[in-house]
Chains A and B, each alone.
Chain A
């Protein structure tokens, strides 16, 4: 029986050791589900790793949670899409620098027969008002993500306080929200990247796009050395600068799904 125990202990140690056999040159990046789900990272991270030898480990969560992870010092770098929140993050001293990296846009998705006729609307605010008036089901992320925050700002600008049985707050990520919207034939606001890469569309269709207020800006942040001295600031700075460099911007522009470019670099 003692022999058995030794065997078990040996197995445990070996298994433990294999965990620690990972590369040292890596940073942890807190980012959003839209960038991960669309496949952007799979396309650009190998290029960054080739150029610098630094591996980027992505934790893809909603923007609200990404801020929280960075605030607690659990990520070396932050790439999100909530400009207002990002600026506040810098003001509060958690980040020292924020820069525009790229943009895409939000689109309004809904059932193909379009009961609220939003495809005829001229502005996004008009489209949302039409949905509220017809009380057609609308699936909201409801998770304090960048998309959720942008959606709430749009309702505000439309002068509608969403509520009632037609407005369904799902409290989940973009993909699960699209799955649910597809199942209940609801309207939904999505970032274009997740929508284009999304496979389970069923009866859903892109119905409204192109209003300037649907602009979706992504920003990269350099986190504060003062607040979190233990972070890998040097490597994180390399990543931040690479994103803004010609190579990084080109890599973003080169990423396409079905021949369609999903993110448009716009670093200054």
Chain B
């Protein structure tokens, strides 16, 4: 059956039909958008926790670390209750739309980006501290410098976040509803085909998803290596 699945995956990729294309594009849109939003919020958050001392800082660090393990289905359930018509944000009518899926994935990815960037920035701060002090820099000025100089490490963090987003199924299933042509993504399509007993097709879709993630990681790797070399 495994051989069969590779054959299925190959023919899926070769004859990329309209509905698979749509599913792939939606998967990428949702997960990339979620990662970008989570990065805009999470990196400054992580850096801030690294830079400032405040009461309850230890608690925040523990919470961010723990939330890296938030089960997707729990995040999905939370967002579902929030966006449901009977919930506090029901008026927006976002349930069962791609936007709801983005919201759920942001919640999953944000702790990973914040927690890991906090650690990277803190390490870098140890190296730079004396220099910063001699220059008399304020903490707010240190933040962009540290984030920029940690950019290659943060790229890996970003990829970890993307991996989490593109691989999860519990949250998008619950808040997206796996609606054909509207909120069906790679992972929910795999669940659907598995439940139809179409295991080779399900595994084939899985291989397509893995290939896609591989391409994105390779692109990121090549870009960062080129940039590093250019800097010498």
Contacts and interface: CB of A to CB of B under 8 A. Distances in A.
Interface in B1-55: 29, 32-33, 36-37, 40
Contacts of B87: 72
A119 interface: no
Contacts of B179: 28, 57-59
Nearest to B81: A72
Contact of B29 (A18, A174, A200): A18
Contacts of B90: 73
A50 B32 CA distance: 35
Interface residues of B, number: 31
Contact of B178 (A15, A16, A60): A60
B86 interface: yes
A140 to B, nearest CB: 16
B195 A59 contact: no
Nearest to A198: B197
Interface in B175-201: 177-180, 182, 192, 194-199
Interface in B187-228: 192, 194-199
Given A19-B98, A228-B85, A200 B178 contact: no
Contacts of B119: none
A74 B97 contact: no
A51 interface: no
B197 A19 contact: no
A8 B36 contact: yes
A8 B36 CA distance: 8
User: Which has the most chain A C-beta neighbours within 10 Å: B144, B148, B192, B195?
Assistant: B195
A61 to B, nearest CB: 8
B50 to A, nearest CB: 19
A15 B36 CA distance: 11
A176 interface: yes
14 contacts: A12-B33, A12-B36, A12-B37, A22-B182, A37-B195, A42-B180, A59-B179, A73-B85, A175-B194, A175-B196, A178-B197, A182-B197, A200-B197, A201-B197
Interface of A: 1, 8, 11-12, 15-16, 18-19, 22, 28, 33, 36-37, 41-42, 57-61, 72-74, 173-176, 178-179, 182, 197-201, 228, 230
Interface of B: 29, 32-33, 36-37, 40, 84-87, 90, 93, 95-99, 144, 148, 177-180, 182, 192, 194-199
Given A19-B97, A182-B197, 6 more contacts: A15-B33, A59-B96, A61-B177, A74-B96, A174-B195, A175-B196
